[in-house]
Amino acid sequence: MKRPGHRLRPIIIKEFRQIRRDPRSLIFLLVIPAFLLLLYGYALNFDVKHLPLAVCDLDGTSASREFIGTFEHTEYFNLKLRLDSPRAIDRSLGREDVRIALVIPRGFGEDLAAGREPEAQVIVDGSNAQSASTALGYIGAIVQEESVRLFAQRLDDRGLRGPAFPLRTDVRVWYNPELRSIKFLVPGLMAFILMVIVVVSTSFSVVREKEQGTMEQIAVSPVRPSELIIGKTIPYILISLVSAHLVLFLSFILFGISIKGNYLFLLLTMVLFLTGGLGQGVLISTVTKTQQVAFMISILTTFLPTFILSGFIFPIRNMPWVIQAFSYLVPAKYFLSALRGILIKGSGLSAFGPDLLFLAAFAVLALALSIANVRKTDEERPRARRWRPR
């Protein structure tokens, strides 16, 4: 007597043939994730550097030029305009020729040489709050460093020894010494892209059978609902794993994101996440009757929750507690947490073990609900048309 599991093989083969006959599905699973990684990887960048700067030097002394040089010699500012009058600043900021304007008043060098405290005006375009606040931080650090240098030089000119500062800090940045935002974004991009792609692609699997009328033939066959769902999921898991590794490869080639942690943990994390996403897609497919409806539900349940509530871009801790509660229902949140730990930090299982448990629970629940829906639909058909093995 053959085991019931032998019926999985024809379903898997049938699904692979269906994917081969529909090249759009294969392109959607393999090519689109790589394309989206390229698009978002280069388009999304939170690094605030090379801000266009305008300077209005009304003093024109060596001291003012030296002060301007402290801004030019950093990677944070690019000197774009030299203005003759402060009145031109409003026009330059309004046309977005520059983002920051530095005004050095007359008598700047004279006051500095006399030991007085001259003031330089900084005007920042605040329409982009994030870049403006970051720019103010850069300016404050530059001015403070220049003030300390000038103070030490003034004491040295008088033959005095500069005072020792009471506090010093030894700052070391772990995991991302260059502070590149792309290292933070690429794992989120992977979670976002894979979640949307796998759910949308598999949401058509069962509903396509309904539209083509082949679901009636499957209903009278000896195939069990569990075998149908698992058989339809396995091909997509294998193809999605290839797609995930392609995204990893491109992340390494283009952005230098390598695997710092254990590859087997990464593989396990991807399998659990993809299985849950595929299970969600099949579940959507079992409760809808048309591919259009399945597509709409897939987008609504993956795109916005993954983009907003996973911690991909927006920190969850800054959200209201009600929204934070909803974020615990988003699988991409746990996948992203584990992915950043493995790719960037090289963390061990103890750091992301709870995330894997949730992903496993989500995968089992999604597949179980899909099987239950198929079984319920099957039982609602006339019993004379159904046949089950003894």
CA distance 215 to 224: 13
Rg of the chain (C-alpha set): 30
CA distance 357 to 243: 23
Residues paired with residue 104 on neighbouring β-strands, in sequence order: 57
Closest CA to 339 of 244, 234, 275, 197: 244
* Pair 81, 97: CB distance under 8 Å: yes
Virtual torsion, Cα 42, 46, 51, 52, nearest 10 deg: 50
Provide DSSP, 37-102: HHHHHHH------SEEEEEEESS-SHHHHHHHHHHHTSSSEEEEEE-SSTHHHHHHHHTTS-SEEE
Distance of CA 21 to the CA centre of its chain: 33
Q: How many Cβ atoms are within 10 Å of 179's Cβ, its own excluded?
A: 10
CA distance 31 to 215: 29
User: Can you give the pLDDT at residue 5?
Assistant: 53
Provide DSSP, 168-181: -------S-TT--H
Residues near 230 by beta carbon (within 8 Å), at least 6 away in sequence: 8, 367
Virtual torsion, Cα 114, 77, 181, 45, nearest 10 deg: 150
**Main-chain phi, psi angles of 322, to 5 degrees:** -65, -45
Given a cut of 50, the residues of the chain with pLDDT beneath it are: 1-2, 383-390
User: Can you give the pLDDT at residue 14?
Assistant: 76
* Pair 29, 201: CB distance under 8 Å: yes
**Main-chain phi, psi angles of 260, to 5 degrees:** -85, -25
User: Can you give the pLDDT at residue 6?
Assistant: 64
Task: Give the three-class secondary structure for 103.
Answer: strand
User: Can you give the pLDDT at residue 161?
Assistant: 67
Domains along the sequence of the chain with CATH = 7-44+180-385 (no CATH), 51-157 (3.40.1710.10)
Q: DSSP assignment, residue 165?
A: P
User: Can you give the pLDDT at residue 335?
Assistant: 93
User: Can you give the pLDDT at residue 173?
Assistant: 78
User: Can you give the pLDDT at residue 221?
Assistant: 63
